[in-house]
Copies of this chain bind each other. A is one copy, B any other.
Amino acid sequence: MAVTFRQLKYFLVLSEELHFSRAAEKLNISQPPLSASLRQLEERLGFKLMERTSKYVRLTPAGTIFADQAARILGQLDSAMTIAAETAKGAAGELSVGFVPSMLFRDLPAKLKAFQNSHPRVDLILHEMNTTRQIESLLEHKIDVGFVHAVPLPNGISHKVLETERLVACVPRWHRLASKSRIRISELAGERMMVFSRSFAAHYHDKITALLRTANLEPDTSFHIQHWFTVVALVKQGMGVSLVPSSLSSSVFSDVVFLEVEERQAEHDIAQIWRSDNTSPMLQNLLLGLPRFETRL
């Protein structure tokens, strides 16, 4: 015969009431089975939990200790069920999120904050990394979801395009084209065209390079740039011009001008990616909870 949760519960109520009939009533059973339950528990444990006569019922020292522990055990079972249920619903746990830096210019932070508010027991772990690393990390189970520039994906990775973003030309304020609001890329012929390093974001680099080549332009390879901000800063200093995502054309930059570009292909996709076999409800909640992104202007 083993100790049961029921015995613990009965004993616990009994230890609060210190009265068999009242405790039995509270438990919606009659008094004899309650007596029996306690007796069996004591038999199993090998020592008395309560001293009782028809005049008083009181805990033994060992009973006091055991009642305390019983309460803890029952509470722990309860919280175990709750926590596990929350995990099962995707309301608790850890979720690792990868993102390319430019997501910070969109409303990823706000969206994640909103998700965090609606899922307070989920720990979001954020990793800034480029698209290639995110794909690797997904396959290695190091992240659960990535926010990337759309690229060809290996098997086992699903994706959803969140946004298609135009590229815009970035030139200094005093540039000959600065007064136009819309140009064709070929109009930039002869300019030094700056693009960040291919090693930093290969697919994106290749995309822009291909686009430039349709207009008979070549990126300048003498720069090893790691970040959009650097590109804009260099443009501002007259080092050259560039093609950048329109999300960058915010008012935080002065002395540079962003010009729309006519070419239809001057755009790229922002996508979220995840392992196709990842059925975690937490992930599903996140994917559903983050609808279209908007660019923060």
Contact = CB atoms under 8 A, between A and B. Distances in A.
Contacts of A216: none
Contacts of A66: 80-81, 84
A49 B81 CA distance: 11
B85 A45 contact: yes
Interface string A78-105: 0111011101110011000000000000
Interface in A6-59: 6, 45-49
A223 B232 CA distance: 96
A186 interface: no
Nearest to A68: B80
A28 to B, nearest CB: 14
Contacts of A89: 47
Interface of A: 2-6, 45-49, 60-63, 65-66, 69-70, 72-73, 76-77, 79-81, 83-85, 87-89, 92-93, 280, 282
24 contacts: A2-B6, A3-B81, A5-B5, A45-B81, A47-B85, A48-B88, A49-B84, A60-B88, A61-B280, A63-B84, A65-B80, A65-B84, A65-B92, A65-B93, A69-B76, A69-B79, A69-B80, A69-B83, A69-B84, A70-B80, A72-B80, A73-B73, A73-B76, A73-B77
Given A4-B5, A47-B89, A73-B77, 13 more contacts: A3-B81, A45-B85, A47-B88, A61-B88, A62-B88, A65-B83, A65-B87, A65-B93, A66-B80, A66-B84, A69-B77, A69-B83, A73-B76
